[in-house]
């Protein structure tokens, strides 16, 4: 090992780092273009180079996107929809994650007759295409009186997400030795005490995985948002689409880019804050969590 | 002080063709240290889990202090268990681990603190109370696991191979520790192990299991000196007892059996009189390594002693002894020889057979032939 470290500067090393750097750059270019464009003036965009830095740095694109841009007929920016997305995503993420944790606990530690079959069938939920459930879901939401509401969207995302979160937690809990559960039972702990006092405190890594996964999925969802929400309850992804497609005169790329950045920021922040747990949680099985 | 009776315990797993436990009857006296021993898959862990209530039984009764507890939940049985993997709660400190069972039972905080202190003193883990299990060594985790069991002052302690995950030196230390603890606290303990040395050193009585059946129940000395059958004889003792097929013959000075080395030389071993009704028939001679030694002068005049020369095939010095391998009637036989009396492999050596403690088995039933 030490040999490899000492002879660090070799052509093969340079090649490896070169390729990695290039790949990183390729992935960063769209983000870079979005960022610089969002800070440019419309004039600058029309005359300047796509990759060039703004000649005049301005935040007008951002403020306009936030509070003045037109999404369809009303022109109040995307701020309202940004909060819509939060109101939908936070409860949907928390509820689906908690349900998944509980499901995973039962499916790994309190197996019942047919529980493996049950789990197998639940996994199908991960592969059901969104389009397939649109009509039945619309009918169901209508009957529940939840059509076009944020609550309805939360319900849709919880149902859709539980398959994934159950998979995450079940696989995480399967690796935890059964002796721990037995010891707790002998100590007098019951079904819920074991879950809340023993297993949940051990679940931080997989919790983070589930949080990031669900947050990204639900925040970025467009299809359910456009189908099951309308007007004031629409999430930001739908609003962004409306904003970009609303053409009144000149196309304001700086506003479009700023709006897109605003829409993407929360998932970026979540990943940066909890990312280290994400990697740790995904590899938990191999390194022992 | 608790007395436990296992009456006709049967257990069949759902969907399994064969019974895992085939009617186990054991009475465990108050304060007794009982060890369940047997090869893997013999049902010893299953039996322990049924006592704990972690698994149900198909038939039979588990009677603790006169009351059948077979249908009860684990938490209502007042039994504590130490697991092979220790099963410490990873997110709790040592103190919280020990206190967990007490807290759940709703003891007042002051009492819990007192109890944790008592147990920590007893096991010398006071300085570890605020640490997390992940920061402890294997031996320390083992102590904490025992502390968690002791804290509740349960009626019965169950130990499920508690020393298997420790290295050899620590295992011997903890073995002594557990024995001391038992002598001090006089608790009723059921202890599962597959290590027959652990069984011999710790137990008041040993229950040897195989394929879900109780093979023998007795003190370590009984099990070692008078094994009921070939399985028990072969399982207890290391190196294992050797089994030599011999034919009982009527000699001039009583009964004899001939054993032949691999060089063709034979000697006639004296055998006890209770084999008289088996003259002319084959029996299996069960002989332990310590029954074949270098010639010992003080034994020269004793009855049931014989000497002969045999070719040594392998020598294994263990320190206190040298284990030598010879062949008798085409079977491998271990001898235990004083290292001060050197023998070399490939050479012949004079060996002394002490037949007073050897045992004989019926080749058909594999049971020990008992003196009348």
Evaluate if residue A285 carries a pLDDT over 50: no
Q: What percent of chain B has pLDDT over 90?
A: 78
Of B81, B84, B91, Cβ closest to residue A202: B91
Q: Are B246 and B282 in contact (CB under 8 A)?
A: yes
* Domain residue ranges of chain A, discontinuous segments joined by +: 2-62, 79-287
A1 confidence band (pLDDT: 50, 70, 90): very low
Average pLDDT, chain A: 87
Cβ distance B54 to A182 less than 8 Å, yes or no, reads yes
Q: How far apart are CA B87 and CA B141, in angstroms?
A: 9
**Rounded Cα gap, residues B183 and B175, in angstroms:** 12
- Mean pLDDT across the stretch B304-330? 92
H or E element, residue A208: helix A204-220
pLDDT reported for residue A156: 92
In this prediction, residue A73 carries a pLDDT of 73
Nearest-neighbour CA in chain B from A102: distance (Å): 19
User: What percentage of chain B has pLDDT greater than the value 70?
Assistant: 99
Contacts of B54 in chain A (CB under 8 A): 182, 185-186
Collapse the DSSP code of A71 into the 3-class scheme (helix H, G, I; strand E, B; otherwise coil) and give the result. Answer: strand
The answer to whether the beta carbons of residues A165 and A214 sit under 8 Å apart is yes
- ipTM, 2 dp: 0.83
CB-CB contact of A255 with A65 (8 Å): yes
* Percentage of residues in chain A having pLDDT higher than 70: 93
Average pLDDT over residues B232-248: 93
Cα distance from A92 to chain B (closest Cα, Å)?
A: 28
Mean local confidence (pLDDT), A106-125 = 90
If DSSP states are collapsed to H, E and C, what string results for chain B? Answer: CCCEEEEEEEECCCCCCCCCEEEEEEEECCCCEEEEECCCCCCHHHHHHHHHCCCCCCEEEEEECCEECCCCCHHHHCEEEECCCCCCCCCCCHHHHHHHHHHHCCCCHHHHHHHHHHHHHHHCCHHHCCCCHHHCCHHHHHHHHHHHHHHCCCCEEEEECCCCCCCHHHHHHHHHHHHHHHHHHCCCEEEEECCHHHHHHHCCEEEEEECCEEEEEECHHHHHHCCCEHHHHHHCCCCCCEEEEEEEEEECCEEEEEEECCCCCEEEEECCHHHHHHCCCEEEEEECHHHEECCCHHHCCCCCEEEEEEECCEEEECCCCEEEEEEECCEEEEEEECCCCCCCCCCEEEEEEECCCCEEECCCCCEECCCC
* Closest CA in chain A for residue B150: A187
Answer whether A188 sits within 8 Å of B54, measured CB to CB: no
Find chain A residues with C-beta within 8 A of B105's C-beta: 188
Say which range, A7-16, A83-92, A194-203, A211-220, has the weakest mean pLDDT.
A7-16
pLDDT at residue A287 in the model: 38
Average pLDDT over residues B278-282: 93
- Does the structure show a pLDDT above 60 at A288? no
Residue B73 pLDDT exceeds 60: yes
For position A68, what pLDDT does the model report? 82
Nearest CA in chain A to B54: A182
Q: Write out the two tokens for A186.
A: 């002998």
Average pLDDT, chain B: 92
Domains of chain B by start residue, with CATH? 4-235 (3.40.50.300), 242-361 (2.40.50.140)
Residue of B nearest to A184 (CA): B101
- Judged by average pLDDT, the poorest of A111-115, A227-231, B233-237 is A227-231
pLDDT at A106 over 90: yes
Lowest mean pLDDT across A246-250, B141-145, B161-165: A246-250
Asked if the Cβ–Cβ distance from A188 to B105 is below 8 Å, we say: yes
The residue-averaged pLDDT of B112-134 equals: 93
With residue A242 as reference, give the H or E element that holds it.
helix A236-245
pLDDT at B133: 92
pLDDT of residue A186: 92
Q: In what order do the strands lie in the sheet with B21-28?
A: B21-28, B4-11, B59-64, B67-68
pLDDT of residue B322 exceeding 60: yes
Decide if B287 contacts B327 (C-beta within 8 A): no
- Per-residue DSSP letter, A283: T
Compare CB distances from A193 to B53, B54, B104 and report the shortest one's residue.
B104
Site from A172, A188, A198 to mutate, B interface, most B CB atoms within 10 angstroms? A188
At B241 the pLDDT is: 95
Task: Give the number of other CB atoms < 10 A from CB of residue B33.
Answer: 23
CATH architecture, domain A79-287: Orthogonal Bundle (1.10)
- Residues A186, B100: C-beta atoms closer than 8 Å: no
What 3-state DSSP class applies to A224? Answer: helix
Does position A2 have pLDDT exceeding 60, yes or no? Answer: no
Of B80, B88, B90, the CB nearest to A186: B80
Strand B314-317: give its sheet, edge to edge: B314-317, B322-328, B331-337
Helix axis angle, A115-124 relative to A79-109, nearest 10°? 150
């Amino acid at each position: 090992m030490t040999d490899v470290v000492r002879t660090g500067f070799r052509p093969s090393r340079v090649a490896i780092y070169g390729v990695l750097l290039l790949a990183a750059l390729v992935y960063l270019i769209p983000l870079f273009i979005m960022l610089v464009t969002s800070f440019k003036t419309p004039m600058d965009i029309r005359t300047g180079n796509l990759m060039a830095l703004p000649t005049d740095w301005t935040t007008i694109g951002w403020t306009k996107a936030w509070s003045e841009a037109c999404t369809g007929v009303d022109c109040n920016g995307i701020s309202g929809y940004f909060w819509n997305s939060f109101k939908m995503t936070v409860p949907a993420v928390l509820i689906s994650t908690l349900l998944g944790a509980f499901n995973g606990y039962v499916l790994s530690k309190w197996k019942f007759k047919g529980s493996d079959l049950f789990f197998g069938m639940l996994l199908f939920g991960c592969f059901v295409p969104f389009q397939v459930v649109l009509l039945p879901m619309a009918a169901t939401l209508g009957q529940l009186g939840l059509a076009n509401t944020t609550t309805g969207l939360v319900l849709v995302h919880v149902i859709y997400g539980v398959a994934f979160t159950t998979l995450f937690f079940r696989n995480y809990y399967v690796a935890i030795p059964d002796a721990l559960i037995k010891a707790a039972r002998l100590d007098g702990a019951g079904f819920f005490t074991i879950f809340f006092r023993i297993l949940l405190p051990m679940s931080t890594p997989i919790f983070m995985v589930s949080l990031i996964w669900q947050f990204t999925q639900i925040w970025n969802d467009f299809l359910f948002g456009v189908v099951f929400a309308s007007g004031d309850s629409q999430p930001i992804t739908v609003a962004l689409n409306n904003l970009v497609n609303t053409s009144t005169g000149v196309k304001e790329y700086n506003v479009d880019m700023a709006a897109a950045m605003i829409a993407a920021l929360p998932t970026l922040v979540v990943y940066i804050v909890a990312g280290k747990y994400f990697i740790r949680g995904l590899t938990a099985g191999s390194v022992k969590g | 002080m608790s007395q436990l009776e296992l009456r006709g315990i049967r257990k069949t797993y759902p969907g399994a063709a064969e019974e895992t436990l085939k009617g186990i009857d054991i009475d465990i006296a108050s304060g007794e240290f009982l060890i369940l021993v047997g090869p893997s898959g013999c049902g010893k862990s299953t039996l322990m889990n049924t006592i704990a209530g972690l698994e149900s039984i198909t038939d039979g009764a588990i009677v603790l202090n006169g009351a059948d507890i077979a249908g009860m939940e684990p938490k209502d049985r007042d039994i504590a268990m130490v697991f092979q993997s220790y099963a410490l709660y990873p997110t709790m400190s040592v103190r919280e681990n020990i206190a967990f069972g007490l807290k759940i039972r709703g003891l007042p905080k002051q009492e819990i603190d007192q109890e944790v202190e008592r147990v920590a003193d007893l096991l010398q883990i006071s300085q570890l109370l605020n640490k997390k299990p992940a920061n402890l060594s294997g031996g320390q985790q083992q102590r904490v696991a025992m502390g968690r069991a002791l804290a509740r002052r349960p009626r019965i302690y169950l130990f499920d191979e508690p020393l298997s995950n420790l290295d050899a030196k620590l295992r011997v230390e903890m073995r002594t520790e557990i024995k001391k603890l038992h002598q001090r606290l006089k608790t009723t303990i059921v202890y599962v192990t597959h290590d027959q040395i652990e069984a011999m050193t710790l137990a008041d009585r040993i229950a040897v299991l195989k394929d879900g059946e109780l093979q023998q129940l007795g003190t370590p000395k009984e099990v070692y000196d008078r094994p009921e059958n070939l399985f028990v004889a072969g399982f207890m003792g290391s190196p294992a007892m050797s089994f030599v097929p011999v034919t009982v013959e009527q000699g001039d000075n009583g009964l004899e059996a001939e054993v032949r080395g691999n060089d063709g030389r034979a000697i006639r071993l004296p055998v006890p009189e209770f084999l008289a009704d088996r003259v002319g028939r084959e029996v299996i001679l069960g002989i332990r390594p310590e029954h074949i030694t270098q010639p010992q002068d003080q034994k020269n005049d004793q009855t049931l002693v014989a000497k002969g020369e045999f070719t040594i095939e392998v020598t294994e010095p263990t320190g206190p002894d040298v284990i030598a391998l010879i062949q008798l009637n085409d079977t491998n036989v271990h001898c235990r020889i004083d290292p001060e009396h050197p023998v070399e492999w490939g050479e012949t050596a004079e060996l002394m057979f002490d037949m007073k403690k050897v045992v004989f088995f019926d080749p058909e039933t594999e049971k020990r032939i008992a003196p009348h």
